[in-house]
Amino acid sequence: MKTSSNVFFLLVMSLGLLVSCNSKADKMAETESIITNERNVKTAEETKTISETEMQKTAEASERIDLENKGVGPVKSLILADIDQKLAAKGQEIFKNMCTACHKPDKKFIGPAPKGILERRSPEWVMNMILNPEVMIKEDPLAEELLKEFNGAPMANQNLKEDEARAVLEYFRTL
């Protein structure tokens, strides 16, 4: 009797030790449950977004007007003067080489047409979309919606310099 209780004690103790030593596994389990919680929260948010989108379905993202939103990127503030035709001509050339694979000036193509864009978007937003498309489609809700509207074809970053993007913007004003 005494013998068996000793053996029992040994087993219990070793189990306890084994479990307590395995602190790494414990931590992993904790982390996992946190991730699971985050996932739940996100799912709930996504559902909300979808229902909101459905409510606003009256206007596609490309047709909606938002002149306050400056987008996310290097251009913070831009005040437009009279149209500079020389700059616009330079912009047209850049547009032809860098953008026409996906954009036609006055017709929806892979991406939206730039014609009349400044009636719907701020100049800052347009330049940031050209200069910083990867971040825009993630952080700017309108850009994110545009990506969906245009079949999930993400705008390519053509590595234009800021002055080149400014010239393209000037060209858009002439359309």
| Binding site residues, other proteins, CB under 8 A | 2-3, 6-7, 9-10, 13-14, 17-18, 21, 96-98, 100-102, 109-110, 151-154, 156-160
CB of 21 to other proteins, least distance (A): 4
**47 or 157: whose CB is closer to other proteins?**
157
* N- to C-terminal Cα separation, the chain: 98
Comparing CA positions, the residue from 57, 71, 76, 78 lying closest to residue 142 is 71
Comparing CA positions, the residue from 155, 130, 158 lying closest to residue 144 is 155
CB of 79 to other proteins, least distance (A): 29
The pair of structure tokens assigned to 125 is 């937003």
CB of 104 to other proteins, least distance (A): 9
**70 or 103: whose CB is closer to other proteins?**
103
**20 or 77: whose CB is closer to other proteins?**
20
**70 or 167: whose CB is closer to other proteins?**
167
**70 or 146: whose CB is closer to other proteins?**
146
CB of 32 to other proteins, least distance (A): 19
**SS percent in the chain: helix, strand, coil, step 5:** 60, 0, 35
Please, which residues have CB within 8 angstroms of residue 102's CB and are 6 or more apart in sequence?
Answer: 109, 110, 111, 153, 155, 156
CB of 55 to other proteins, least distance (A): 27
Q: Which helix (H) or strand (E) holds 78?
A: none
Q: What are phi and psi of 27, to 5 degrees?
A: -60, -40
